């Protein structure tokens, strides 16, 4: 039985979120012994968010009660050398949607069936926003030595990821049991103009409000000036065309 700390690296482990931030491709490499499976997942900090539950009255869908969701990570992606591992559920499983479901809580009165359906809808909503993803393709080795197998993979973290701390975790699995685990932290930091706007909104709210109002006024004046100029040119063009048509 092998229980040593696995060789696991992640690049980049520092992400800058700027004004033109796009999806970031994070690569990882892992070396594990022959005959073992692995699971790699990346998850963000647990957050609280409020969702509106839809209810159906006759043939119309309407907004119902507000549901407070607690304990769900802000981002979650996972991949495995055996995709079947990601579908397993149980108290010993620390990855996949099943593990998230055990940690998450919803406000309001729900029975077990309603809670399960709401959680599935919640994961579907996150997938549509590209914040949750379970990779269906298996991770394959790219090389091997006498004792270990080298596996390389990629995760694409979405452009709408929030600043904060993320954990990339490698789990080495033997016969469905985790025998070793290693976690590498990933930091996402806001830089540039978004960082300045966030700083103003949090620490200098009055100044931020004044800047926002002035910016809106200047944008309105600029748009009005442009439309006014376009309107004058259009009006002049009509007069000239009418004059040239009346000349003989």
Distance CA 97, CA 94 (A): 9
Distance CA 48, CA 192 (A): 27
Q: What is the DSSP letter of 83?
A: G
Beta pairing, strands 76-80 & 46-57: unpaired
Residues contacting 52, CB < 8 A, separation 6+: 63, 64, 65, 66, 67
pLDDT of residue 199: 67
Q: What is the pTM of this model?
A: 0.77
Dump pLDDT digits (tens) for 48-89. 998 877 777 777 777 777 889 999 999 999 999 998 889 887
Residues contacting 6, CB < 8 A, separation 6+: 30, 31, 32, 38, 170, 172, 180, 181, 182
What's phi and psi for 159, nearest 5 deg?
Answer: -70, -25
Q: Which residue has the higher pLDDT, 238 or 96?
A: 96
Distance CA 192, CA 90 (A): 44
Q: Which residue has the higher pLDDT, 18 or 116?
A: 116
End-to-end CA distance of the chain: 103
Dump pLDDT digits (tens) for 115-159. 999 999 999 999 999 999 999 888 888 888 778 899 999 999 999
């Amino acid at each position: 039985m092998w229980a040593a700390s696995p060789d696991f690296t992640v690049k980049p482990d520092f992400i800058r979120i700027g004004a033109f931030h796009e999806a970031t491709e994070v690569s990882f490499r892992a070396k594990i012994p022959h005959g073992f499976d692995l699971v790699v997942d990346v998850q963000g900090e647990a957050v609280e968010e409020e969702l509106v539950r839809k209810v159906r009255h006759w043939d119309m869908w309407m907004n119902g009660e507000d549901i407070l969701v607690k304990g769900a990570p802000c981002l979650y992606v996972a991949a495995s050398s055996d995709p079947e591992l990601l579908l397993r559920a149980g108290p010993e499983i620390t990855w996949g949607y099943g593990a998230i479901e055990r940690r998450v809580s919803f406000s309001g009165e729900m029975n077990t069936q309603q809670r399960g359906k709401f959680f599935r809808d919640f994961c579907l909503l996150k997938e549509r926003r590209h914040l949750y993803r379970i990779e269906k393709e298996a991770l394959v080795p790219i090389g091997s030595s006498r004792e270990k197998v080298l596996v390389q993979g990629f995760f694409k973290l979405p452009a709408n990821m929030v600043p904060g701390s993320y954990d990339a975790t490698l789990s080495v699995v033997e016969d469905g049991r985790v025998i070793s685990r290693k976690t590498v932290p990933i930091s996402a930091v806001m830089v540039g103009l978004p960082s300045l706007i966030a700083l103003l909104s949090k620490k200098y709210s009055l100044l931020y409000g004044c800047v926002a109002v002035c910016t809106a006024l200047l944008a309105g004046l600029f748009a009005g000036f442009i439309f006014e100029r376009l309107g004058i040119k259009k009006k002049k063009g009509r007069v000239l065309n009418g004059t040239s048509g009346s000349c003989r």
